[in-house]
């Protein structure tokens, strides 16, 4: 892509990096790192307007934004675009394909209750996720190719949050961060650390 001065990198993250639930984020991290061969493919009967195959990567969810932002700056001179996709809960086979170990295999028994919580949450969610993976795939493909949902839009979205649940979680986290920065009791303490 650098040689031809054109291309696109799609990084798949997760909204789980934006929301804290005991042990569930770690479980989500584990799920994301498990290979998933059941992602639905999207077939086209016409030649794409975006003629290069994008590179699709799935790094650890907690560092996905940092990798995407760094790559965006690094690849700008080569006319290579980066898209960070942070989806909410989508109805895929990811949970079924996971390899979460049994609670009794944990080294530290103090974490067994968190393991139980994560297992219950994940097993209770499967098949009830609100997101349609085919629609999500369509949106991603449209953005990369500049078609469909993205047709006529001038601004490239460096990051997209897919699903109402993702949008709500990210907004809640952003509001919490702003509240922390604006906290009258602590803001002067946080700033008073310069020479």
Per-residue pLDDT tens digits for 172-181? 999 999 999 9
Element (H, E) at 10: strand 7-12
pLDDT of residue 24: 54
Distance CA 54, CA 18 (A): 26
Element (H, E) at 83: strand 80-87
pLDDT of residue 35: 43
Distance CA 135, CA 165 (A): 15
15 touches 165 (CB < 8 A):
yes
Q: Which two tokens stand for residue 9?
A: 């990198």
25 touches 17 (CB < 8 A):
yes
pLDDT of residue 63: 74
Element (H, E) at 171: helix 164-182
pLDDT of residue 154: 83
pLDDT of residue 54: 54
pTM beyond 0.85: the answer is no
| Mean pLDDT, the chain cut into blocks of 10 residues (195 residues total) | 88 81 53 43 40 53 81 93 91 68 64 75 76 92 92 90 93 93 88 85
pLDDT of residue 3: 83
Q: What is the 3-state secondary structure (H, E, C) of 46-70?
A: CCCCCCCCCEEECCCCCCHHHHHHH
The size of the chain, in residues, is 195
Per DSSP, the residues of 8-25 read EEEEE--GGGG---TTHH
Provide the total of helices (H) and of strands (E) in the chain, helices listed first: 6, 4
pLDDT of residue 104: 60
Distance CA 61, CA 161 (A): 13
The 10 Å CB-count burial string (b at 16+, else e) for 156-188 is eeebebbbebbeebbeeeeeeeeeeeeeeeeee
Helix axes 112-125, 24-33, angle to 10 degrees: 60
Distance CA 113, CA 124 (A): 16
Backbone φ and ψ of 181, nearest 5°: -65, -30
């Amino acid at each position: 892509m650098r040689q031809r001065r054109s291309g696109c990198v799609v990084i798949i993250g997760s909204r789980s990096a934006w929301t804290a639930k005991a042990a569930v984020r770690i479980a989500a991290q584990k799920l994301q790192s498990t290979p998933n061969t059941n992602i639905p493919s999207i077939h086209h009967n016409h030649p794409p307007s975006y003629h290069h195959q994008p590179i699709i990567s799935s790094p650890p969810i907690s560092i996905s934004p940092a990798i995407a932002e760094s790559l965006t700056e690094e690849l700008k001179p080569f006319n290579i675009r980066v898209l960070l996709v942070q989806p909410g809960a989508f109805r895929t086979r990811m949970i079924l394909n996971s390899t979460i170990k049994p609670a009794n295999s944990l080294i530290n028994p103090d974490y067994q209750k968190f393991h139980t919580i994560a297992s219950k949450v994940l097993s209770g969610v499967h098949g009830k996720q609100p997101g349609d993976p085919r629609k999500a795939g369509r949106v991603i493909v449209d953005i990369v190719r500049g078609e469909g949902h993205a047709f006529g839009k001038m601004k490239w979205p460096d990051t997209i949050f897919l699903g109402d649940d993702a949008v709500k979680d990210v907004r809640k986290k952003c509001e919490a961060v702003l509240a922390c920065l604006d906290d009258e009791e602590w803001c002067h303490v946080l700033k008073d650390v310069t020479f």
